[in-house]
Amino acid sequence: MTSPVGNRRGLMLVLSSPSGAGKTTMSKRLLAGDPQISLSVSATTRAPRAGEIDGVDYRFVKDAAFDRLVATGMLLEWAHVFGNRYGTPREPVEAALADGRDILFDIDWQGTQQLRQSQAGGDLVSIFLLPPTLEELHNRLKSRASDSDEVIAGRMARAADEISHWAEYDYVLVNDDPGQCLYEIRSILVTERLRRSRQIGLAGFVRDLLNEGERP
């Protein structure tokens, strides 16, 4: 009798947060330390930037091609962002999940809602990262020294709207200690990988186990 341990369906892990709350940092650290998870590659209508590679950074498509992806249901989620469109192609995600590999999504609450409403919603695990205080969030944005005061004010205004959707997520973490926050994200990932519904062949294994006990 073969044990089903380790034979599982993959999951979709969403990390969302206001700008400056640590989503990008946590994503990079998680990807660097866990070979079982990879970052979702979005399709976009915007032009490639210097150094970007098609299929690695993004899947760059024309407007007409993006229209076809939307019309045929081939995107799990999509949105308008600064005059361009971005979306998650369905096929590569579903192939990864079936192969037992996990996909990390760096999307906002609107994209998370769309994923939850999609046919793949049962594979979703969502985490929202909160800053310890709004003052600390403002300080983090200020310390980047890359945005004007006007841009920072706009990000802070959007942060309030984003935070208001915290209750729509499966898990909510306060990122006041990056090391501890990463530990908690990894702990959630380990737990969700062991969820009964993701263990392929578990029902058959238990059935055979019980049948074995009935043999003379």
Total-model pTM: 0.85
* Angle at which helices 134-143 and 149-163 cross, to 10°: 140
> Measured between alpha carbons, how far is residue 103 from residues 68, 72, 90, 185 in Å?
24, 22, 12, 14
The H or E element containing residue 214 is helix 202-214
- Comparing C-alpha atoms, which of 9, 21, 12, 4 is closest to residue 162? 21
Q: Which residue ranges form the domains of the chain, and what is each CATH number? A: 12-40+100-203 (3.40.50.300)
Residue 199, beta-bridge partner list? 8
* Cα 97 from Cα 40, distance rounded (Å): 12
Q: What is the pLDDT of residue 138?
A: 87
Summarize pLDDT for 181-210 with one digit per residue, the tens.
999 999 999 999 999 999 998 988 899 889
Query: Which tens digits make up the pLDDT trace of 46-89?
Result: 999 899 999 988 999 999 999 999 999 999 999 888 789 999 99
d(CA 123, CA 100): 11
| pLDDT for residue 72 | 96
Q: CA 177 to CA 36: how far, in whole Å?
A: 25
| pLDDT tens for each residue of 128-162 | 999 989 988 888 888 876 678 888 888 888 898 99
Residue type, 101: R
- Measured CA to CA, the distance from residue 71 to residue 69 in angstroms comes to 6
For the segment 81-122, what is each residue's pLDDT rounded down to a tens digit? 878 999 999 999 999 999 999 999 988 898 999 999 887 778
CA gap 46, 19 in Å, rounded: 21
Q: What is the pLDDT of residues 4-61, one digit of tens each?
A: 666 899 999 999 999 889 898 999 999 999 999 999 999 999 999 899 999 988 999 9
Residue 196 DSSP class: G
DSSP string, 137-166: HHHHHHHT--S-HHHHHHHHHHHHHHHTTG
Do 201 and 48 meet the contact criterion of CB atoms below 8 Å apart?
A: no
All residues at 6 or more sequence positions from 206 whose CB lies less than 8 Å from its CB, including other chains: none
**Cα 41 to the chain's mean position, in Å?**
11
